[in-house]
C-alpha cells in the first residue's frame, strides 16, 4: 500500500514538474514573440520618421529607400505606400507611383490609395521612363530592372545592409574589406584609399559608410530574365540615354552607364551586347557616406630639454595600433603655443610626431564618439650629440611632482643636485624639473662609461613619504631612454603601491630592466 502510494506520488511530482517546465517555456516563447514584435514596430516607426525627414529635406531618393524598408516590415499599413507614392510623384515618376499604389491597394484595400491612383492614372512620366508592376513585385519580362534593389544600393549605408540582410562574412585586407551577403547575391567592397570607411576598432565598416563598389554574383539580381543577354538598345531604352562602350584592351569591352544613383560597368562585346547573366560587373553607388561618429584628440608639444612649447610639430595619424608606415589618414601641426586639437572618426590610431632636429616619436590613441582624448604633454627629444644619451620622464596630471633620479657610485643627479661631473669627465644635467604634473623631467648624460653602474628610478615627491600609496602606480608615468646608437627604450609604470619606481640599471653598457614599485628605504 505504501509502495503504491509512493509510486503515485513520484509520478504526480514528475507530471507537476513537467507541467511547470512546459509553462515556463510557453511563457518565454510568448515573451520572446512580443519582444520581437516590439522591435519590429520600433524599426517600422524609425523608417517612417526617417523617410519623412528626407521628404522635408527634398531628398526623395533616400526617402524612397526608407519607405520601402517600412513596407517590408509591415505591408498592411497605408502610410508608407502613400509616402512612397508621393516621393515618386515629386520626382515626376508617375508610373512608379502607380506601381506603389497598386501594390498598396492589393495589400491594404485602402480607399485612399484608390483615390490617389485615380488622380494620376493617365499622367505620363516627366522623365519619359515607364515602370511596370514586375519591377517591384515578381519577375518581369526581358528588359526590366529591379528598380527597388537598384534604388537601395544607390543609397544604402553599411548599417542599412545589416538591418535589411543581417550580419555577413567580412574579410579585412590592408586597406579594404569585403562583406559577402549570400541572400543579396553580392559582395560589398569598402576601400580606405580615398576616405576612411573601416573602423579598425570593430573590424567592420562604419555604420554610415556607403560601399566603394558592389559586385553581383549574376546580373539577374538587378536585371530580370537576362539569361540570353542584353542588347545595347535595351539598356538605352531603359535608362533614356546612350551607354558608353569602353575598349579596355586585350579584346575586353565594358558597357558603362549611370542609373538611379549607381554607376554600372558590365562586360560586353564590341557592340555593347551583354552576353549572359554571369557577365562580370561592378556597381558604384554615387551617394556619399554620412559623417562618421567622431571624437577629439588634444595635447601639447614641448622640448624635452627646455620644457618650452614646440610649434610646427607635424603629427600624422595612421589607422591601427603601432602602424609606423603607410599613408596617414589625417595630419595636423602644433600651433604657436605647442597645442593640437583635431576631430577624428572613432577608431584607434598611431600618432607620429616629427620636427626637424628632433627624434621621431610614436604613440597609440583611441578615439571614441563624443569624447576628448587628452594625450597630455608630449616631450620631443632633440637629436643627441655624439656619445650622448638621455632619459625623459612623463606622467599624467597627478601626482603633481615626480622626481627623476640617476645615480652612480660617485654622483647622484636629482632636483637637489641638478648637475654633476664624473671623474672621467662625464657631464650630467637635469635639464628640466617639472613640479606641476605631466612632466617632462629630463636628464642628459654626455657619454656612457662602460665601467660605471647607472641606476635610474622615480620618486613620488608628492607622497611626502607616506607608504602604501598607489598614486605613483596610477600616474600613467612613462620613461624613455634614448641611447647614442639611435635606440630608444620605453617603460610604463606598473600598477601597485610604492613611493619609488625602480626603472632600470645600466651595467657594463648593458641596459637591465627592473620596472618595479617599492617603498623608499631612507
Convert the pLDDT of each residue in 146-187 to its tens digit: 777 887 888 888 988 888 888 788 998 877 889 999 888 999
Looking up cell 522635408 gives 56
pLDDT over threshold 70, residue 142 = no
Quick check: 142 and 226 in contact, CB under 8 A?
yes
Q: What is the 3-state secondary structure (H, E, C) of 329-362?
A: CEEEECCCCCEEEEEEECEEEEEEEECCCECCEE
Residues belonging to the chain: 522
Nine-digit cell string for 317: 595619424
Quick check: 154 and 61 in contact, CB under 8 A?
yes
Give residue 1's pLDDT.
44
Looking up cell 557577365 gives 279
> How far, in Å, CA of 73 to CA of 51, rounded?
14
pLDDT over threshold 60, residue 7 = no
Assess whether the previous peptide bond of 399 is cis (omega < 30° from 0).
yes
Give residue 141's pLDDT.
36
Q: Hey, what CATH class is 294-379 in?
A: mainly beta
> How far, in Å, CA of 416 to CA of 177, rounded?
57
Which of 21-30, 286-295, 372-381, 461-470 shows the lowest per-residue confidence on average (mean pLDDT)?
Answer: 21-30
Convert the pLDDT of each residue in 250-273 to its tens digit: 889 999 999 888 999 999 999 999
Q: What is the 3-state secondary structure (H, E, C) of 479-510?
A: EEEECCCCCEEEEECCCCCCCEEEEEEEECCE
Convert the pLDDT of each residue in 198-217 to its tens digit: 877 778 888 888 999 999 99
Q: How far is CA 19 from the centre of its chain?
A: 50
Looking up cell 590613441 gives 365
Q: What is the pairing mode between strands 294-303 and 372-380? A: parallel
Element (H, E) at 513: strand 510-518
Let me know if 184 is exposed, middle or buried by CB neighbors in 10 A (0-12, 13-18, 19+).
buried
pLDDT grade, residue 14 (50/70/90)? Answer: low
Nearest to 460 by CA among 448, 473, 449, 450: 473
Nearest to 376 by CA among 384, 365, 360: 365
> How far, in Å, CA of 124 to CA of 130, rounded?
8
Give residue 27's pLDDT.
57
Nearest to 475 by CA among 434, 521, 423: 434
SS3 139: coil
Count of CA atoms in the C-beta half-sphere (13 A) of 209: 26
- Please give the backbone phi and psi of residue 392, each rounded to the nearest 5 degrees, phi first: -125, 125
> How far, in Å, CA of 188 to CA of 176, rounded?
11
Looking up cell 528588359 gives 143
Looking at per-residue pLDDT, the higher value among 134 and 313 belongs to 313
pLDDT over threshold 50, residue 236 = yes
Convert the pLDDT of each residue in 87-123 to its tens digit: 888 888 887 888 888 888 878 888 878 878 888 877 8
pLDDT over threshold 90, residue 18 = no
Q: Hey, what CATH class is 35-131 in?
A: mainly alpha
Report yes or no on whether pTM surpasses 0.85.
Answer: no
Beta carbons within 8 Å of 489's beta carbon, 6+ residues apart = 480, 481, 483, 504, 511
Give residue 59's pLDDT.
85
- Measured at the alpha carbon of residue 364, what is the angle toward residues 363 and 365, in degrees to the nearest 5? 120
> How far, in Å, CA of 502 to CA of 512, rounded?
11
pLDDT over threshold 90, residue 364 = yes
pLDDT grade, residue 421 (50/70/90)? Answer: very high
Looking up cell 570593430 gives 202
For the chain, the domains span 35-131, 147-285, 294-379, 384-518
- pLDDT above 70 coverage of the chain, percent: 87
> How far, in Å, CA of 414 to CA of 92, rounded?
80
Assess whether the previous peptide bond of 205 is cis (omega < 30° from 0).
no
Quick check: 309 and 337 in contact, CB under 8 A?
yes
Give residue 265's pLDDT.
96
pLDDT grade, residue 137 (50/70/90)? Answer: very low
> How far, in Å, CA of 418 to CA of 318, rounded?
39
> How far, in Å, CA of 42 to CA of 20, rounded?
33
Let me know if 42 is exposed, middle or buried by CB neighbors in 10 A (0-12, 13-18, 19+).
exposed
Let me know if 386 is exposed, middle or buried by CB neighbors in 10 A (0-12, 13-18, 19+).
exposed
- Please give the backbone phi and psi of residue 222, each rounded to the nearest 5 degrees, phi first: -115, -15
Measured over the CA atoms of residue 5, residue 9, residue 10 and residue 12, the dihedral's sign is positive
Give residue 212's pLDDT.
92
Give residue 505's pLDDT.
97
Measured over the CA atoms of residue 221, residue 222, residue 225 and residue 226, the dihedral's sign is negative
Element (H, E) at 178: strand 176-181
Rounded alpha-carbon distances, angstroms, from residue 227 to 143, 236, 275, 276? 11, 18, 8, 5
Amino acid at each position: 500500500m505504501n509502495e503504491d502510494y509512493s509510486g503515485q506520488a513520484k509520478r504526480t511530482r514528475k507530471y507537476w514538474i513537467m507541467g511547470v517546465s512546459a509553462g515556463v517555456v510557453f511563457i518565454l516563447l510568448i515573451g520572446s514573440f512580443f519582444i520581437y514584435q516590439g522591435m519590429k514596430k520600433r524599426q517600422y516607426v524609425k523608417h517612417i520618421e526617417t523617410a519623412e525627414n528626407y521628404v522635408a529635406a527634398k531628398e526623395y531618393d533616400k526617402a524612397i529607400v526608407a519607405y520601402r524598408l517600412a513596407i517590408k516590415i509591415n505591408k498592411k499599413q497605408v502610410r508608407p505606400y502613400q509616402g512612397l507614392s508621393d516621393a515618386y510623384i515629386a520626382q515626376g515618376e508617375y508610373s512608379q507611383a502607380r506601381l506603389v499604389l497598386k501594390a498598396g491597394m492589393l495589400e491594404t484595400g485602402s480607399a485612399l490609395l484608390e483615390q490617389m491612383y485615380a488622380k494620376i492614372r493617365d499622367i505620363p512620366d516627366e522623365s519619359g521612363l515607364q515602370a511596370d508592376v514586375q519591377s517591384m513585385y515578381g519577375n518581369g519580362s526581358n528588359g526590366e530592372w529591379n528598380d527597388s534593389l537598384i534604388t537601395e544600393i544607390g543609397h544604402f549605408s553599411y548599417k542599412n545592409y545589416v538591418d535589411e540582410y543581417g550580419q555577413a562574412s567580412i574579410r579585412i585586407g590592408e586597406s579594404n574589406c569585403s562583406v559577402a551577403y549570400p541572400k543579396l547575391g553580392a559582395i560589398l567592397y569598402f576601400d580606405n584609399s580615398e576616405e576612411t570607411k573601416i573602423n579598425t576598432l570593430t573590424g567592420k565598416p562604419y555604420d554610415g559608410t556607403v560601399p566603394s563598389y558592389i559586385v553581383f554574383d549574376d546580373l539577374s539580381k538587378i536585371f530580370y530574365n537576362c539569361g540570353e543577354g542584353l542588347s545595347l538598345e535595351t539598356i538605352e531604352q531603359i535608362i533614356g540615354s546612350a551607354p558608353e562602350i569602353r575598349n579596355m584592351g586585350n579584346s575586353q569591352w565594358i558597357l558603362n552607364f549611370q542609373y538611379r544613383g549607381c554607376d554600372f560597368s558590365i562586360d560586353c562585346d564590341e557592340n555593347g551586347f551583354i552576353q549572359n547573366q554571369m557577365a562580370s560587373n561592378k556597381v558604384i553607388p554615387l551617394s556619399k557616406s554620412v559623417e562618421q561618429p567622431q571624437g577629439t584628440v588634444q595635447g601639447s608639444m614641448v622640448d624635452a630639454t627646455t620644457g618650452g612649447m614646440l610649434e610646427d610639430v607635424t603629427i600624422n595619424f595612421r589607422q591601427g595600433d603601432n602602424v609606423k608606415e603607410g599613408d596617414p589618414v589625417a595630419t595636423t601641426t602644433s600651433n604657436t603655443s605647442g597645442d593640437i586639437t583635431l576631430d577624428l572618426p572613432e577608431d584607434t590610431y598611431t600618432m607620429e610626431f616629427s620636427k626637424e632636429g628632433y627624434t621621431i616619436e610614436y604613440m597609440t590613441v583611441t578615439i571614441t564618439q563624443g569624447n576628448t582624448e587628452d594625450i597630455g604633454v608630449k616631450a620631443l627629444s632633440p637629436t643627441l650629440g655624439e656619445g650622448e644619451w638621455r632619459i625623459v620622464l612623463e606622467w599624467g596630471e597627478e601626482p603633481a611632482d615626480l622626481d627623476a633620479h640617476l645615480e652612480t657610485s660617485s654622483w647622484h643627479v636629482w632636483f637637489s643636485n641638478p648637475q654633476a661631473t664624473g671623474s672621467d669627465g662625464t657631464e650630467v644635467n637635469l635639464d628640466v624639473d617639472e613640479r606641476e604634473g605631466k612632466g617632462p623631467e629630463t636628464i642628459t648624460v654626455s657619454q656612457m662609461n662602460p665601467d660605471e653602474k647607472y641606476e635610474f628610478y622615480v620618486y613620488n615627491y608628492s607622497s611626502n613619504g607616506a607608504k602604501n600609496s598607489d598614486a605613483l602606480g596610477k600616474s600613467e608615468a612613462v620613461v624613455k631612454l634614448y641611447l647614442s646608437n639611435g635606440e630608444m627604450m620605453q617603460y610604463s609604470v606598473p600598477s601597485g603601491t610604492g613611493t619609488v619606481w625602480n626603472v632600470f640599471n645600466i651595467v657594463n653598457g648593458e641596459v637591465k630592466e627592473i620596472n618595479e614599485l617599492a617603498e623608499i628605504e631612507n
